[in-house]
């Protein structure tokens, strides 16, 4: 794995059609936009330039994450990498908010209520999941399925969703639940972890795919 023991990369999908329209996605299944496709490819090039190489990958049951993974693996020269897809890595379920424009949601429910639903750890949108509930399905999958691969020395790539990854960061980076409101992961941004046990490490890199040298216009 190399002297720096980089073992785990977590990445959010590229821009989706819902992101472009500022809609709550949740378990909706929009495709990537042209910008999202470019972001995914740029991330793959950035990873390749950084010397990253993987033994296996995990992604969600939603096509925006799956497509992002496929595109970046092409750029990495690893199109046949073993990939496991699982709905445990799906985005947080936004319930009744899914499909709503965020501005419209603020007008309907109030700015502070929508902020609480979006960013806080415990607030539950109508018919949906809180971030705590999202963590309750994402973290067991990570512990039971991904962590054993890391302990065996595998280099693992996970391409998922903003809130699914934020839920992981509470444990991986030791972020207090009340502080997670301030944590954001941009589209196609990836985080690199360095130890065989990522729960004992800090992120070595937070690099958006659109950063130089692979700038994405628009």
Q: What is the pLDDT of residues 53-64, one digit of tens each?
A: 999 999 999 999
* Residue 163 annotated in ligand binding: yes
Report DSSP state, residue 14: P
CATH T-level topology, domain 8-208: Rossmann fold (3.40.50)
Helix/strand/coil for 124: coil
Active site residue 181: no
pLDDT at res. 195: 57
Strand order of the β-sheet with 83-85 is 83-85, 56-59, 156-160, 8-12, 189-193, 203-208
**Measured CA angle at 161 (ends 158, 167), to 5 deg:** 85
Q: What is the pLDDT of residues 96-143, one digit of tens each?
A: 999 999 999 999 999 999 999 998 999 999 999 999 999 999 999 999
Q: Where are the domains of the chain?
A: 8-208
pLDDT at res. 5: 53
* Residue 12 annotated in ligand binding: yes
pLDDT at res. 173: 86
**For residue 132, is the peptide bond before it cis, meaning its omega torsion is within 30 degrees of 0?**
no
- Give Cβ neighbours of residue 205 (< 8 Å, ≥ 6 apart): 50, 190, 191, 192
Q: Is the pTM of this model over 0.95?
A: no
- Active-site residue, from 39, 75, 91, 129: 91
Active site residue 75: no
């Amino acid at each position: 794995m190399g002297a720096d023991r980089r073992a785990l990369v977590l990445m959010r999908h590229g821009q989706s059609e819902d992101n472009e329209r500022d809609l709550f996605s949740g378990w909706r299944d929009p495709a990537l936009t042209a910008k999202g496709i470019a972001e995914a490819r740029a991330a793959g090039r950035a990873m390749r330039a950084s010397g990253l190489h993987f033994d296996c990958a995990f992604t969600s049951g939603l096509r925006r994450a799956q497509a992002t993974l496929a595109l970046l693996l092409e750029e990495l020269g690893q199109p046949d990498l073993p990939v496991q897809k699982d709905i445990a890595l799906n985005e947080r379920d936004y319930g009744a908010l899914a499909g709503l424009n965020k501005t419209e949601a603020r007008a309907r429910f109030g700015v502070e209520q929508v902020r609480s639903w979006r960013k806080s750890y415990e607030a539950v949108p109508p018919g949906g999941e809180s971030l705590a509930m999202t963590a309750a399905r994402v973290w067991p999958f990570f512990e039971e399925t991904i962590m054993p691969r890391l302990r065996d020395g595998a280099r693992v790539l996970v391409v998922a969703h903003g809130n699914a990854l934020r839920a992981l960061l509470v444990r991986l980076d030791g972020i207090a639940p009340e502080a997670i409101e301030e944590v954001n992961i941009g589209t196609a941004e990836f985080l690199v972890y360095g130890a065989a046990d990522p729960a004992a490490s800090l992120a070595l890199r937070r690099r958006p795919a659109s950063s130089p040298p692979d700038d994405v216009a628009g």
